[in-house]
Amino acid sequence: FFSSPSEVTEDDGNDDCGGRLAVLVHNAGQYVGITSENSDGLEAGKTLSFGDGSLVDEEGRTNFDTMHYYQRMYGEAFVDLCERSLLRMGNSQNGGGGSIVGISSPGVCAHYYGPDWSYSMPGAGKSLMEYSMRIYAAKVADRGINVNIIIPGVTKTKAWSRLAKKRGLDDERQMMEALVE
């Protein structure tokens, strides 16, 4: 378990793998105003979306702060973790290889879910992660490194319950139906 990307490349010599990393799981999850009250100074509870004018402030300037927050967390942090982890994974020819797993969300890039306007900002960040995963998968396969995205769907958690409540839904079934519509 690494609490920060910089820890991925630290080698204190106290492991049984010779400093080799076998698995990286990126499981960041944050939905400002749903899973937290406030993050990085962002206004909780205000849903921002593309195409409805909510990104434009009173002076007519587009405010990218929330979008950049999610892109840093899901996209940039993921790429940072992957790049640092790949240094420690080696390749299958020298006993290395490994797995990189990213956890995403329904309605981001998966073709069987329609776009969810209320998830525009987190979804934009997750789509950066998902697209990057496709590139990593192609580039590191010959090193014996598997790269996959998992989209677990609706799983009853406190965060999903808060999201369902905010959307006026009572249970996971209703939530899943709303995502697929």
Per-residue confidence band for 132, with pLDDT thresholds at 50, 70 and 90:
very high
What pLDDT, on a 0 to 100 scale, did the predictor assign at position 172?
Answer: 63
Give kind and range of the element (H or E) at residue 136. Answer: helix 120-140
- Whether the per-residue pLDDT at 105 is higher than 90: the answer is no
Compute φ and ψ for 180, nearest 5 degrees. -80, -25
Give the type of residue at 140: V
Q: Is the pLDDT confidence value at 63 over 80?
A: yes
Whether residue 3 has pLDDT greater than 70: no
Give residue 24's pLDDT.
92
- Cβ atoms of 81 and 24 closer than 8 Å: yes
pLDDT exceeds cutoff 60 at 110: no
Which residues on neighbouring strands pair with residue 100, listed in sequence order? 24, 147
The H-or-E segment that residue 100 falls in is strand 98-103
| Mean of pLDDT values over 120-142 | 90
Pairing of strands 145-150, 98-103: parallel
Residues 16-59 have pLDDT tens digits of: 556 788 999 988 777 776 666 656 677 666 778 899 999 998 99
Q: What is the mean pLDDT of residues 137-154?
A: 89
pLDDT higher than threshold 60 for residue 129: yes
Q: 55 with 62: CB under 8 angstroms?
A: yes
Residues 6+ apart with CB under 8 A from 77: 5, 26, 28
What is the reported pLDDT for 26? 86
Question: Would you say 114 and 180 are in contact if contact means Cβ atoms under 8 Å apart?
Answer: yes
